[in-house]
C-alpha cells in the first residue's frame, strides 16, 4: 500500500502518520519527491483499512499495490535507481559493459583479456572463480586463487570486478574484494544466500533464473532489498523454452517489462542467452535498443581452448568490433560508455 501525501504537508503530521502506521506492525519507507511525498507501507497490509488512511487530512491518495514485490516496485520509488560502483553509475545514462571470460583460468588468460577489455572501453571485468557447472566432473573454477587473479587484473587495469558467489561461506571475502557480486541463474532462488547478501551494501547482479517468471525474478530482488540492500542490478540472460537452436531464448521483452515494473537497472547477457558467439552482437544491439542499462559479454583470448563456455565466447578482436558498434548505438539512446561525472570542465 502506498500513501501519496498532499504537497506541503507539515512534518509533524507526517511523523504522526508514520508512527500510526508503525503501530499497526508495518514498516514505512518515505520517498520525498519535488511535489509529492510517498509513504510506502511494507508488511502485511491485508488488515489495514484503506478508508481509515484515505480520510486523513494529509493524504492525497491511497494506492493498493497488487504486485507481491514492494521495495523493488516502481510504485514505491518512481525514479530510476542509480547504482554507484567506484566512479561509475549504473542506470544513469552510463551504458555498463561487463566483459571477460566465463571462468578465470590463468594469470596470462585473465590479464590478456582484461587489457583488451579495458582498452576497448568496458568498465567492468567479469570472470568466474566459483563456477556453477551442470556436471560435477566439469571444471569448477579456481576458487580463491581465481579471485586473487581478478584482483591482480584490477590492480593493473583499474577495471572493476564482477564475479559470481555460490555460497554464503564466501561472503566476507566477496564483500572485501569484489565490486559487484553476481548471483547466477541457478542460485536466483537460493533465498538464504539472497538474505545474507541483503545484509551487505554491495551491488548485487541478480541473474534471472533459467525458468523464472519476471515476477519470481523481482521477488528474488525483493529478498535482497528486504534485508536493507537496495543495490540490485537485474540481468536477463535468457530463459528455457522449447527452442533448442539457441542455448536459451533471450526474453528481450523482459527488459522494458522489468523497467516498467521496477526502478532497478536492467542489463542483458546475450552470451548465455544465445550460447553462440556469432549471435552475441545482434542480441547485444537489440538489448541497447529496448532500453538495457548495460550488457555482460563473455570474451576469451582463445575460445577453442576455454575451460567453460568457449562456443559463446567472443575472440578479442570480435569484442573490439562489438564495442565500436555499442558505442554508436548507445549514443542513439542517450547513453554513453563513460561516466557522466567524468566529463570535467577544462578549468577543473
Ligand atoms: C556465468 O555468468 O558464467 C553464468 C554461469 O551465468 P548464468 O548464471 O546466467 O548461467
Ligand atoms: Mn559462462
- pLDDT tens digits, 64-109: 998 999 999 999 998 999 999 999 999 999 999 999 999 999 999 9
Q: Whose CA is nearest to atom 3 of ligand 1?
A: 102
* pLDDT for position 346: 60
Hey, which of 127, 138, 164 would you mutate to test ligand 1's pocket, going by the most ligand atoms within 8 Å of its Cβ?
Answer: 164
Question: E strand or H helix at 150, and its extent?
Answer: helix 144-157
Terminal Cα distance for the chain, rounded: 46
* Helix/strand/coil for 166: coil
List of domains in the chain: 2-63 (3.30.70.1140), 83-332 (3.20.20.70)
Read off the C-alpha cell for 179. Answer: 565490486
Pocket of ligand 1 (CB under 6 A): 102, 128, 132, 184-186, 207, 237, 269, 272
Round the average pLDDT of the chain to a whole number and report it.
Answer: 95
Look at residues 8, 54, 56, 52 and name the one whose alpha carbon lies nearest to residue 32. 8
Q: Cell 478508508, residue?
A: 51
Identify the residue whose C-alpha is closest to ligand 1 atom 10: 185
> Which atom of ligand 1 is closest in space to residue 126's alpha carbon?
2
Q: Specify the pTM.
A: 0.94
Q: Are strands 96-100 and 124-126 parallel, antiparallel or unpaired?
A: parallel
Alpha-carbon distance of 160 to 175, in angstroms, equals 13
Q: Which helix (H) or strand (E) holds 328?
A: helix 316-332
Minimum CA distance residue for ligand 1 atom 4: 184
**Cα-to-centroid distance, 297 and ligand 2 (Å):** 9
Q: Per residue in 277-327, pLDDT tens?
A: 999 999 999 999 999 999 999 999 999 999 999 999 999 999 999 999 999
**Per-residue pLDDT tens digits for 194-249:** 999 999 999 999 999 999 999 999 999 999 999 999 999 999 999 999 999 999 99
Among 101, 104, 128, 217, name the best residue to mutate to test ligand 1's pocket (greatest count of ligand atoms within 8 A of Cβ).
128
Centroid of ligand 1 to alpha carbon of 305 (angstroms):
19
Amino acid at each position: 500500500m502506498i500513501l501519496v501525501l498532499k504537497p506541503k504537508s507539515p512534518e509533524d503530521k507526517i511523523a504522526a502518520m508514520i508512527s500510526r502506521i508503525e503501530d499497526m506492525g508495518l514498516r514505512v519507507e518515505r520517498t520525498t519527491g519535488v511535489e509529492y511525498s510517498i509513504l510506502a507501507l511494507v508488511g502485511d497490509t491485508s488488515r489495514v483499512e484503506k478508508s481509515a488512511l484515505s480520510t486523513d487530512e494529509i493524504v492525497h491518495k491511497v494506492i493498493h499495490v497488487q504486485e507481491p514485490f514492494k521495495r523493488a516496485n516502481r510504485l514505491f520509488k518512481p525514479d530510476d535507481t542509480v547504482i554507484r560502483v567506484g566512479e561509475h553509475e549504473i542506470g544513469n545514462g552510463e551504458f555498463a559493459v561487463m566483459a571477460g571470460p566465463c571462468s578465470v583460468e590463468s594469470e596470462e588468460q585473465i590479464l590478456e583479456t582484461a587489457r583488451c577489455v579495458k582498452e576497448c572501453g568496458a568498465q567492468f571485468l567479469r570472470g568466474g572463480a566459483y563456477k556453477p557447472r551442470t556436471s560435477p566432473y566439469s571444471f569448477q573454477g579456481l576458487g580463491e586463487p581465481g579471485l586473487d587473479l581478478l584482483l591482480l587484473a584490477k590492480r593493473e587495469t583499474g577495471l572493476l570486478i564482477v564475479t559470481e558467489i555460490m555460497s554464503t561461506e564466501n561472503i566476507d571475502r566477496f564483500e572485501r574484494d569484489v565490486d559487484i557480486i553476481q548471483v547466477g541463474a541457478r542460485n536466483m532462488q537460493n533465498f538464504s544466500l539472497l538474505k545474507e547478501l541483503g545484509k551487505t551494501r554491495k551491488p548485487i547482479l541478480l541473474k534471472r533464473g533459467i525458468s523464472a517468471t519476471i515476477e519470481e525474478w523481482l521477488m528474488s530482488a525483493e529478498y535482497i532489498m528486504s534485508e536493507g540492500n537496495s543495490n540490485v542490478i537485474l540481468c536477463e540472460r535468457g530463459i528455457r523454452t522449447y527452442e533448442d537452436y539457441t542455448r536459451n531464448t533471450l526474453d528481450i521483452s523482459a527488459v522494458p517489462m522489468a523497467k516498467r515494473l521496477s526502478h532497478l537497472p536492467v542489463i542483458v547477457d546475450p552470451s548465455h542467452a544465445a550460447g553462440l558467439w556469432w549471435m552475441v552482437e545482434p542480441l547485444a544491439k537489440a538489448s541497447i535498443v529496448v532500453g538495457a542499462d548495460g550488457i555482460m559479454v563473455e570474451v576469451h583470448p582463445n575460445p577453442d581452448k576455454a575451460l567453460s563456455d568457449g562456443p559463446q565466447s567472443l575472440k578479442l578482436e570480435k569484442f573490439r568490433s562489438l564495442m565500436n558498434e555499442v558505442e554508436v548505438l548507445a549514443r542513439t539512446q542517450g547513453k554513453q560508455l563513460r561516466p557522466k561525472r567524468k566529463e570535467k570542465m577544462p578549468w577543473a
